[in-house]
Structure 1
Amino acid sequence: MTRPVRATLLALILLLPAVLAPAAQASPSQLSIMMDDDNLLYRGDAVRDQSLQRMRNLGVDVVRVTVLWSVLTDKASQSKLKGAGATNPRNYPVLNWDRYDRLVRSARSLGMVVYFNPTPPGPSWAHGKAPKGLRSVVKKAWKPDPGEFAKFVEAVGKRFSGSYRDENDARQPIPRVSFWGLGNEPNQAGWLAPQWEKGKMVSPVMYRELYLRSRAALDRTGHGRDTILVGELAPLGSSNQGQRSPIRPRKFLRALFCESSRGEGCEAFDKYGPIRATGFAHHPYTKNVSPVTKDKHPDSITLANLSSLSRLLDSLARRTGNVKAKLPIWLTEFGFETNPPDPFSGVSLERQAEYNQLGELLSYLDPRVAGITQFLLRDVAPVASGPKSSKAHWFTYQSGLEFVDGRPKPALQAYYFPFIVQQPGGFVANVWGQLRFRPNGLPAGARDQVQIQFKPAEGDEFVNVGDPITVTSAMNYFTGRMTLPGPGEVRALWTGGSLASRSATVTR
């Protein structure tokens, strides 16, 4: 274990009482979510089904997928989508729906929940005209029409209401989707632009109306009681005030919920009412540093200062009435890119596994967290057109649990069987982990057990330490405390088979 990671674990000792406390002090029922659009949407039926099965075997409960407005309107007839026509799923090209229809069916057959994230950018005719000289990705995200976006969301809501029949695939009924997030990273110009205009923040104003109107569209299509998340914010930002300058989440939220009643566009709340959401979605990346390392700017919100998000939301709810207090927090993207394969960015393979586990523990320790999302099962293939020695070649994301060719990274084992050992002093060890790969909610007579094992520093074999730990959590978390014989390695073994966790080193 590296010295920085060991220091991180020592910092978490202060949090350990919460791990061993009753469930009310932690979040032992949170869902395991995974996102991998490339493999679930864009690689064909066989890759999708293989990926879903792989995720299910790892213990994933929910898959999050981007429902990109521009993808579903690709090659669509603009005349058919004029006026109310955009609310009719049949006015979109049938083949554009297939990847989503089939994903929902396949996931349902495996007992998995699908979480849809409809988001701009959309077709060029549904956006404002961007100034010249901007990057293409920003031009495409420029000033989406909230009314047109709401019509698109209404079409998606109708199609996935549970009563709609497919136009092809033998006219089968399409299963219902009941989990939604509206918009993606609206504090980033690649998703919503401009961020600033004439010295004023405008992206919170645009996102407010996009959310309010698309939320009403879900109501109209029978999804009013579904899980519907607001936010989906990126964790970091900039102090600049340019059209492309990302806005840090605390600053964005104060504007979004109108901390000042005289804020831009706050009359929207008079017209549409408050933000109605069942939870707040956030992407708490810490980039290439430990999950307990806070960003230097107080308006950033990463996993290291996640509790500040709950406090801010509750404060805004109390002072403005524009959002409900005590909203659950959903961590809907998280992960670490690795080097290898990307020689320009990322952490080592071992550190990815360690940081992912620390992120899992921090998430567990926060009673407001309802779920955490691993961003990518498998690395995305690099950009073939870029020279292999260039950053352009490695523009894609490399935060997968597997390399692009399917070879596992150490983080794969850390995902399906996370395990952390903490030493408050001497050779007393507190352990925390999860049998994520096991079914949730086993009946009392079928509970799993975990055996803690120890291998001396100079030894070759693991031996049992203490009695087995019975897993009583519905989501298969376990905790325990024991005294170890001395320095060495500690791991957890599932007694129902041969699967073991990664080992942790104890040194004193």
Structure 2
Amino acid sequence: MAFLLLMSRALCRILLTAAAFAALVVTPAHASSTQLQTFEAPRDLLDPATRPAALDQIDSLGTHALRVVLYWRSVAPSATSRTKPTVDLTDPANYAWGEYDALLAAAKDRGWPVLLTVSGPVPKWATKSRKDYVTYPSAKEFQTFMTALGRHYADQVSIWSVWNEPNHPDFLMPQYTKKGHHPVSGKTYRRLFLAAWRGLRASGNGRDPLLMGETAPRGTGKVVAPLAFLRQALCLDSSYRRARTCANLPADGYAHHSYSTREGPFFVPPNRDDVTMGVLRRLTRALDLAARAGAVRSRMPLYLDEFGVQSYPDKLLGVPLAKQAEYYAISEKLAYDNPRVLSFSQYLLRDDPKNSKGSGGGILAQSAFPGFESGLEMANGRRKPAYDGYRLPLTVTERGSRSAVIWGRVRPATAATSVTIQYRDKGGWRTLRTLQTAANGTFATSAERRDGRRWRVLWTAPDGTAHHGASTRAYPKV
């Protein structure tokens, strides 16, 4: 194909996707119409040997936006030294951007928007005691770093976000006070967020969307529960009353990692400060109360920018392979139906290797797989049912004793397309009906329900390739 035609199409896609991301910062009446899907695959995308093929796979699965976590320590000069380097740290030329440059450039070439989460671990010289990489990071130094970062990636980042899981000790310390075991990480995070906001303004990117949060879903003795963290970061007490001396945070949205457990997406954590996929209303209610107190903007949108379903071979934390596809589709439907959710995500293309380093501590310490097994492929590259299920997610919800509601999506669709719904009882697959999707690839219908019946979608791509999604059973309405 001619070079000029390729450039014309790439420019057109850049303009369209940039406009789509810009639209996400205004909360629409129905977020599902503009809800964006992001993909995160750091192991595959930051390796030059695997990046091209991984991008092609993600493209073929119908996702055209990335979430990238950039760790300050990974690019900073003299990161392992206790002595701050004597260079201009607002100058991007003094950092080693490495494969981040290549990845963001590749995304730009494809016209894909990037949600960039800037996070610790940090350089040793940027911490209070200069003994580790996560304890009391300097807000002043972070502001300087964000200024350099904003200057370097000004036209390659669509949305900025501050700190990956700041309520988790792997990324920010301390989480609790030594005496009394009271949460403290929210206070540190507040200073870091405001520093990032000032740094982006200094870099000329002050009008770019900036997200707060990026919180892990559940609290432990080491991890602060997300709503407890939120209240502290916003200077709110347990009744969501704000301290008079505390100004509002200029955040454009709240990012959250809404992982559930192997019990599935409808799991309800007993701790009311935890927020998993099935209880997003806890988070929206907390944000609404915070807005009523003047701590944040009203109707703060949600960005579920890290999510996945753990599967076998990890039998401690994961679910059987067939259930992984079912649980992900249900989770996507929950996100799609929530008007506050402006983006949903998939974490990992390929599972982490068995010998990878996980988050450490807690139940993960008991697992033979300390990394994440939430990929669409196993660590050896073998595709799981979730691979086809991700391209063609399908949910079947029981409605009474004899009927069911069917919802699904053709993710690669860029316009209305034709899909066929099939079912199977004891024999082979039979066709229920063929129907047209909406322009965004979604469809809905109803059918008779029988115990033990399985369902799937068939779709033929424009190039003639026939795809079928993972099979699913009917689930009760919750």
Q: TM-score, normalised by structure 1?
A: 0.79
**Which of the residues 34, 39, 49 maps onto 2:44?**
39
Residue 182 (structure 2) pairs with residue 214 (structure 1): no
Counterpart-to-counterpart distance in 2, 1:228 and 1:384: 31
How far off its partner does 1:33 sit? 1.0
- Quick one: structure 1 residues 91 and 48, their matched pair in 2 at CA, closer, same or farther if it must change by over 3 Å? same
Alignment of 1:298-309 (within 5 A): 298-309=272-283
Query: In the alignment, what sits opposite 2:223?
Result: 246
| Counterpart residue type for residue 159 of structure 1 | H
How far off its partner does 1:97 sit? 1.2
Contact 1:349 1:409 in 2 (8 A): yes
Query: In the alignment, what sits opposite 1:121?
Result: 121
Residue 446 (structure 2) pairs with residue 481 (structure 1): yes
SS at match of 1:252: helix
Query: In the alignment, what sits opposite 1:403?
Result: 378
Counterpart-to-counterpart distance in 1, 2:51 and 2:271: 40
Structure 1: state its 5+ residue gaps: 1-22, 132-138, 163-175
Counterpart-to-counterpart distance in 2, 1:227 and 1:52: 25
Counterpart-to-counterpart distance in 2, 1:384 and 1:177: 29
Query: In the alignment, what sits opposite 1:471?
Result: 437
Query: In the alignment, what sits opposite 1:379?
Result: 351
- Quick one: structure 1 residues 427 and 506, their matched pair in 2 at CA, closer, same or farther if it must change by over 3 Å? farther
Residue 360 (structure 2) pairs with residue 360 (structure 1): no
Query: In the alignment, what sits opposite 2:134?
Result: 141
How far off its partner does 1:109 sit? 2.2
- Quick one: structure 1 residues 419 and 226, their matched pair in 2 at CA, closer, same or farther if it must change by over 3 Å? same
- Quick one: structure 1 residues 71 and 384, their matched pair in 2 at CA, closer, same or farther if it must change by over 3 Å? closer
| Counterpart residue type for residue 400 of structure 2 | G
**Which of the residues 459, 463, 467 maps onto 2:427?**
459
Alignment of 1:104-503 (within 5 A): 104-129=104-129, 139-162=132-155, 176-197=156-177, 198-199=179-180, 200-238=182-220, 240=221, 245-260=222-237, 269=246, 273-319=247-293, 321-340=294-313, 342-383=314-355, 394-439=369-414, 442=415, 447-455=416-424, 457-463=425-431, 465-466=432-433, 468-473=434-439, 475-483=440-448, 488-496=453-461, 497=464, 498-503=466-471
- Quick one: structure 1 residues 487 and 378, their matched pair in 2 at CA, closer, same or farther if it must change by over 3 Å? closer
Contact 2:82 2:130 in 1 (8 A): no
How far off its partner does 1:74 sit? 5.2
How far off its partner does 1:267 sit? 8.2
Counterpart-to-counterpart distance in 2, 1:111 and 1:507: 38
- Quick one: structure 1 residues 123 and 268, their matched pair in 2 at CA, closer, same or farther if it must change by over 3 Å? farther
| Counterpart residue type for residue 314 of structure 1 | D
Listed one character per residue, the Cα deviations across residues 112-165 of structure 1 (whole Å, up to 9, x for unaligned) are 21221111221111112288xxxxxxx421110011011111111000123xxx
How far off its partner does 1:102 sit? 1.1
Contact 2:120 2:171 in 1 (8 A): yes
How far off its partner does 1:500 sit? 2.0
Counterpart-to-counterpart distance in 1, 2:397 and 2:356: 44
Contact 2:350 2:375 in 1 (8 A): yes
Contact 1:331 1:369 in 2 (8 A): yes
Question: How many matched pairs?
Answer: 437
How far off its partner does 1:359 sit? 0.8
Counterpart-to-counterpart distance in 2, 1:415 and 1:160: 30
Q: Which has the larger radius of gyration?
A: 1
Structure 2: state its 5+ residue gaps: 1-27, 359-364
- Quick one: structure 1 residues 196 and 487, their matched pair in 2 at CA, closer, same or farther if it must change by over 3 Å? closer
Listed one character per residue, the Cα deviations across residues 302-333 of structure 1 (whole Å, up to 9, x for unaligned) are 111101211110111111x1211111100011
Counterpart-to-counterpart distance in 1, 2:244 and 2:331: 39
SS at match of 2:373: coil
Query: In the alignment, what sits opposite 2:61?
Result: 58
Contact 2:398 2:475 in 1 (8 A): no
- Quick one: structure 1 residues 202 and 449, their matched pair in 2 at CA, closer, same or farther if it must change by over 3 Å? same
Counterpart-to-counterpart distance in 2, 1:436 and 1:52: 16
Listed one character per residue, the Cα deviations across residues 187-242 of structure 1 (whole Å, up to 9, x for unaligned) are 1111111112243432111000100111111122222222211100011113x4xx
| Counterpart residue type for residue 472 of structure 2 | A
Counterpart-to-counterpart distance in 1, 2:89 and 2:292: 37
- Quick one: structure 1 residues 280 and 58, their matched pair in 2 at CA, closer, same or farther if it must change by over 3 Å? same
Q: TM-score, normalised by structure 2?
A: 0.84
- Quick one: structure 1 residues 432 and 77, their matched pair in 2 at CA, closer, same or farther if it must change by over 3 Å? closer
SS at match of 2:195: helix
Query: In the alignment, what sits opposite 2:25?
Result: none
Contact 2:261 2:317 in 1 (8 A): no
Counterpart-to-counterpart distance in 2, 1:364 and 1:385: 33
Contact 1:81 1:91 in 2 (8 A): no
- Quick one: structure 1 residues 146 and 84, their matched pair in 2 at CA, closer, same or farther if it must change by over 3 Å? farther
How far off its partner does 1:426 sit? 4.5
- Quick one: structure 1 residues 507 and 332, their matched pair in 2 at CA, closer, same or farther if it must change by over 3 Å? closer
Contact 2:398 2:449 in 1 (8 A): no
Counterpart-to-counterpart distance in 2, 1:312 and 1:209: 21
Query: In the alignment, what sits opposite 1:7?
Result: none
